[in-house]
């Protein structure tokens, strides 16, 4: 059973960079066959896909966030990470990591972590 | 940008059938997926590839597709089915897109 767990600061100051890590257990990122995605949900709102990474390091980002997003992978630690730069209050959200099936959907999700952008 | 449109809310009495629709121009060419999200929890996949049900998902959940609209049907709705439901698809470039979500209320 694949499990994902997000970790990182729950509070980030405006204009700074949000950094989160997702640790995967029960399966190896480097085995291939899957993408690894970040998704966020603004308080009381719907879901927004941020982007994904493959174990090789290739990435694909949501065009609406592409200029501020970097997703990286550390296969030795079975982790992948999200960096979102120049954050504002509009980036306050619950951030989820998920296993992304190449056909285009998510079968395993982390529990989510709330990140608040505030001074 | 590609959009998926869902009704904000659907209400149904226990034991009745709930139908939640999702419309999008690319749905005739792209599969749709459905997630259930209860308060404070991560979404759970309930339907994939328009109509396939993952293991562990009750048989009362089903999906269908017709043209630019896909439908999640919950037959014999139970109180535990009260949740937000999101459709999701991908555009031709691979960008994953979610619908706005539908709040299912069990009266």
User: What average pLDDT does chain B have?
Assistant: 96
Q: Determine how many CB atoms are found less than 10 A away from the CB of residue A88.
A: 9
B25-31 average pLDDT score:
93
Residue B34 buriedness (CB in 10 A; 0-12 / 13-18 / 19+): buried
Q: Which residue in the set A49, A96, A105 is minimally distant from B45, CB to CB?
A: A105
Residue A112 has a pLDDT of 98
Q: What is the dihedral of CA A47, A50, A55, A59, to 10 degrees?
A: 150
Give A40-66 pLDDT, tens digit per residue: 999 999 999 999 999 999 999 999 999
pLDDT at A100 over 90: yes
Reading the block at residue A113, the tokens are: 């972590």
Q: What are phi and psi of B17, to 5 degrees?
A: -105, 130
Q: What does the pLDDT look like over A68-89, one tens digit per residue? A: 999 999 999 999 999 999 999 9
Spatial contact of B70 and B88, defined as CB atoms under 8 Å apart? no
Q: Provide the 8-state DSSP code for A9.
A: -
* pLDDT of B2: 85
Q: Tell me if A105 and B48 make a contact (CB, 8 A cut-off).
A: yes
Q: Which of chain B's residues have a Cβ under 8 Å away from the Cβ of A96?
A: 42-43
Measured between beta carbons, which residues in chain A are less than 8 angstroms from residue B44? 109
Q: Between vectors from CA B44 to CA B38 and to CA B50, what angle results, nearest 5°?
A: 120
Interface residues of A toward B, Cβ cutoff 8 Å, are 37, 46-49, 52, 60, 62-64, 96, 100-101, 103-107, 109-112
Give the number of A-B residue pairs with CB atoms closer than 8 Å.
62
Q: Which residues contact B106 (CB under 8 A, 6 or more apart)?
A: B11, B12, B13, B14, B77, B78, B79, B81, B82
**What pLDDT band is residue B42 in, cutting at 50, 70 and 90?**
very high
Instruction: Taking residues A102-116, report their average pLDDT.
Output: 96
Task: Determine whether the interchain pair A46/B89 forms a contact, defined as Cβ–Cβ distance below 8 Å.
Answer: no
A110 and B42 within 8 Å at the Cβ level: the answer is: yes
Is the pLDDT reported for residue B1 higher than 90? Answer: no
Nearest residue of B to residue A109, measured between CA atoms: B42
pLDDT tens track for B7-19 = 999 999 999 999 9
Task: Give every CB contact of residue B43 below 8 A, 6+ residues apart in sequence.
Answer: A47, A96, A106, A109, B35, B36, B37, B86
E-state strands within A1-119: 3-7, 11-12, 18-25, 35-41, 47-53, 59-61, 69-74, 79-84, 93-101, 105-109, 113-117
The three-state secondary structure class of A66 is helix
Contacts of B96 in chain A (CB under 8 A): 37, 49, 52, 62, 100, 104-106
Q: How far is CA B65 from CA A45, A119, B2, B43, in A?
A: 26, 47, 18, 22
- Reported as a single tens digit per residue, the pLDDT across A5-36 is 999 999 999 999 999 999 999 999 999 899 99
Q: For residue B92, what pLDDT is reported?
A: 87
The Cα A119–Cα A12 span in angstroms is: 8
pLDDT level of residue A38 (50, 70, 90 thresholds): very high
Pairing between β-strand B83-90 and β-strand B96-98 as defined by DSSP bridges: antiparallel
Among candidates A63, A104, A109 on the partner chain, residue whose Cβ is nearest the Cβ of B90: A104
């Amino acid at each position: 059973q694949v499990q994902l767990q997000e970790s990182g600061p729950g509070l980030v100051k405006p204009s700074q960079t949000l950094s989160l890590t997702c640790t995967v257990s029960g399966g190896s990122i480097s085995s291939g066959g899957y993408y690894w995605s970040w998704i966020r949900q603004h308080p009381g709102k719907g879901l927004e896909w941020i982007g994904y990474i493959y174990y090789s390091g290739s990435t694909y980002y949501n065009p609406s966030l592409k200029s501020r997003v970097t997703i990286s992978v550390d296969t030795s630690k079975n982790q992948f990470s999200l960096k979102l730069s120049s954050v504002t209050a509009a980036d306050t959200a619950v951030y989820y990591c998920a296993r992304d099936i190449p056909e285009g959907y998510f079968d395993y999700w982390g529990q989510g972590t709330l990140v608040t952008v505030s001074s | 940008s590609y959009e998926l449109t869902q009704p904000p809310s659907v209400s149904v009495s226990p034991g009745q059938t709930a139908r939640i629709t999702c419309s999008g121009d690319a749905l005739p060419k792209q599969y749709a997926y459905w997630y259930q999200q209860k308060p404070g929890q991560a979404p759970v996949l309930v339907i994939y590839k328009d109509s396939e049900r993952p293991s562990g998902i009750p048989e009362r959940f089903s999906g269908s597709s017709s043209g630019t609209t896909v439908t999640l049907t919950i037959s014999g709705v139970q109180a535990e089915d009260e949740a937000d439901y999101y459709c999701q698809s991908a555009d031709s470039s691979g960008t994953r897109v979610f619908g706005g979500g539908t709040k299912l209320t069990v009266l």
